Structure 1
Amino acid sequence: MTHTFPVHVYYEDTDLAGIVYYANYLKFIERARTEWVRGMGVDQVALKAEEGLVFAVRRVEADYLSPARFDDDLSVETELEAMTGARIVLNQRVTRAGEVLFDAKVTLVALTETGQPARLPAIIRRNLH
């Protein structure tokens, strides 16, 4: 199942050449992951308040394939690649009219308030199977 999140490129997202600044792709895919989790019915604020758990990015492997520019309409596609009891691996792509501009593999983990690794919440494990 692919989750799609729309992104419009604003002037603030670009560098002097009008090309999306490389670090902003990480912001785009972060927003998409937040909406992906919300779409599964997970309230991350409540998860932190009630269970003391937060999600953290453990690893990102990214390929910048082609530039996005000011005023482009983009889509961020998020797909589950793998899940264990403590880790989620996602494939995320930023596309423009079907062309892949940015491709990333992102590994997420759950952490306690003290920063210790934790088992993924049951609602996540249940909704991803």
Structure 2
Amino acid sequence: MTHRFYLRVYYEDTDLAGIVYYANYLKFIERARTEFVREMGIDQTALKAQEGIVFAVRRVEADYLSPGRFDDELLVETTTEAVTGARIVLKQEVLRDGETLFSAIVTLVALSDTGQPARLPANIRLILH
């Protein structure tokens, strides 16, 4: 399954040259991941309250391929690459009119409320497969 999240580049997202500031791609893919998880039926607030589990980014491998610009309409596509007992690996791409501008492999881990590694509940592993 591929999740799609659309956004527009605002002035505040750009640098002096009018192109997307590199760190903002991380914000864009974070928003897309939040919506991806929500649309999969995972309530992160309830997960924290009931299970004491939160997701944290462990690793991002990113490629900046072409610049986004002010007023572009972008699409973030998110797909699940792997799910283990405590880890989720996602591929995320930011596209403009079918052209990939930014690509990332993001590794998320499950953490307990004390910050220690935690196992993902079985129902969440099933949802994300």
TM-score by length of 2: 0.97
Give the structure 1 partner of residue 44 of structure 2.
44
Q: How far, CA to CA, are the matches of 1:82 and 1:57 in structure 2?
A: 15
Gaps of 5+ in 1: none
Deviation at 1:13, TM superposition (A): 0.4
Maintained 8 Å contact 1:42/1:123: no
Any runs of at least 4 consecutive aligned residues in structure 1 with deviations exceeding 2 A, and if so which? none
Give the structure 1 partner of residue 73 of structure 2.
73
Give the structure 1 partner of residue 91 of structure 2.
91
- How many residue pairs get aligned? The number is 129
Q: How far, CA to CA, are the matches of 2:16 and 2:123 in structure 1?
A: 44
Which aligned pairs between 1:1-129 and structure 2 lie closer than 5 A? 1-129=1-129
Deviations 1:17-39 (A, max 9, x none): 11000000000000000001001
Deviation at 1:46, TM superposition (A): 1.0
Q: How far, CA to CA, are the matches of 2:78 and 2:39 in structure 1?
A: 12
Q: How far, CA to CA, are the matches of 2:102 and 2:47 in structure 1?
A: 30
Maintained 8 Å contact 1:74/1:96: yes
Q: What percent of counterpart residues are identical?
A: 78
TM-score by length of 1: 0.97
Partner amino acid, structure 2, of 1:57: V
Q: How far, CA to CA, are the matches of 2:113 and 2:53 in structure 1?
A: 6
Deviation at 1:51, TM superposition (A): 1.0
Deviation at 1:96, TM superposition (A): 0.1
Instruction: Please tell me the root mean square deviation across aligned C-alpha atoms, in Å.
Output: 0.7
Gaps of 5+ in 2: none
Aligned residue for 1:107, secondary structure, equals: strand
Aligned residue for 1:31, secondary structure, equals: helix
Partner amino acid, structure 1, of 2:11: Y
Partner amino acid, structure 2, of 1:104: A
